[in-house]
Amino acid sequence: MIEGSLVALVTPMTADNELDWDSLHKVVEWHLEQGTNSIVAVGTSGESATLSMAEHFEVIAKVVDQVNGRVPVIAGTGANSTREAIELTEAAKERGADGCLSVTPYYNKPTQEGLYQHFKTIAGAVAIPQILYNVPGRTGVDMANDTVLRLSEVPNIVGIKDATGDVDRARDLLARVASDFAVYSGDDLTALELILAGGKGNISVTANVLPADVATMCALALAGKADEARAINDRLMPLNKALFLESNPIPVKWAMARMGLIAAGIRLPLTPLAEKFHEPLVAAMKEAGALPANG
């Protein structure tokens, strides 16, 4: 079971929005040096919705090859077509991913039974560990805890990324699922409380900017050192909030470009961070320690 900080990795792009393989290599290596526990490639933060199939597969392959077993690599393989999700999941397995992250089908608004059958069918088709991903704020569909509980009984469905931000709901799920089913936060604002309640880690946007701090905070929380973890979390909180001034990954890619980690490329329909948010994001980055206070 993966524990700790799982970075929701951005996909670096050049100024003309082509994939930036050199920056991807540098950022992945930086995460390994900084103590990130797992890399989640081509998820929401990785702009999977605007990558071609070929690009999607190539990002997975390059990350897997570079990581070379040093940490687990999870590939985003969700789709609102069950057949397409199976194709993506098969491709991730073929390219050596350690597991897959599969988002609830967006736009077509399946019922709870439809969600159950969707994920059960993918799991039955591809023998690879699979993590469910519930983010109703983006998909327009919310997977109930009862449905997650049913799916947790499918052998290769091993966990869920809960991006609802509802810690009470996560506590209810944790009380009902088996101990070998991992509940991860998908919300940096509430991740600490979810881990302290029994969650296994945080699939984090903020880790793109301050990977060592997020990894340390998660490790302390998992060890039950709540006060020490909370001290780091309190410092990170303004940044956690600022990284959602506009839709993810608009702010985080701008922040990383400001740090010199990547170029500023982002694909339509997403646009670069609005100028009115530059100053508050820089202020939050300085407060969290991502930029020098006088820089």
Q: Find out whether 290 and 235 touch, Cβ atoms under 8 Å.
A: no
In a domain, 251, yes or no: no
pLDDT band at 56 (very low <50, low <70, confident <90, very high): very high
In a domain, 93, yes or no: yes
pLDDT at 258: 97
In a domain, 199, yes or no: yes
* Mean pLDDT for the stretch of residues 107-123: 97
* Mean pLDDT for the stretch of residues 253-266: 97
Residues of the domain holding 83 = 4-236
Single-letter residue type at 64: V
62 is catalytic: no
Q: How far is CA 253 from each of CA 45, 75, 136, 277, rounded to the nearest angstrom? A: 9, 19, 23, 13
Q: Find out whether 206 and 236 touch, Cβ atoms under 8 Å.
A: yes
161 is catalytic: yes
- Cis previous bond, 72, omega within 30: no
Using one digit for the tens of pLDDT, what is the confidence trace for 118-177? 999 999 999 999 999 999 999 999 999 999 999 999 999 999 999 999 999 999 999 999
Q: Which residues of 55-93 are buried (b: 16+ CB within 10 A; e: fewer)?
A: bbbbbbbbbbeebeeebbbbbbbbbbebeebbbbbbbbb
In a domain, 158, yes or no: yes
Which of these is catalytic: 93, 161, 200, 253? Answer: 161
Q: What is the DSSP string of 273-291?
A: PPGGGHHHHHHHHHHHTSS
Radius of gyration of the chain (CA): 18
In a domain, 188, yes or no: yes
pLDDT at 295: 65
In a domain, 12, yes or no: yes
Q: Over the chain, what is the mean pLDDT?
A: 97
Task: Please state the domain count of the chain.
Answer: 1
Per the DSSP assignment, residues forming a β-bridge with 204 are: 7
What is the reported pTM?
0.96
In a domain, 289, yes or no: no
Which of these is catalytic: 93, 133, 200, 253? Answer: 133
Using one digit for the tens of pLDDT, what is the confidence trace for 220-247? 999 999 999 999 999 999 999 999 999 9
Using one digit for the tens of pLDDT, what is the confidence trace for 11-51? 999 999 999 999 999 999 999 999 999 999 999 999 999 99
Residue 151 belongs to a domain with what CATH number? 3.20.20.70
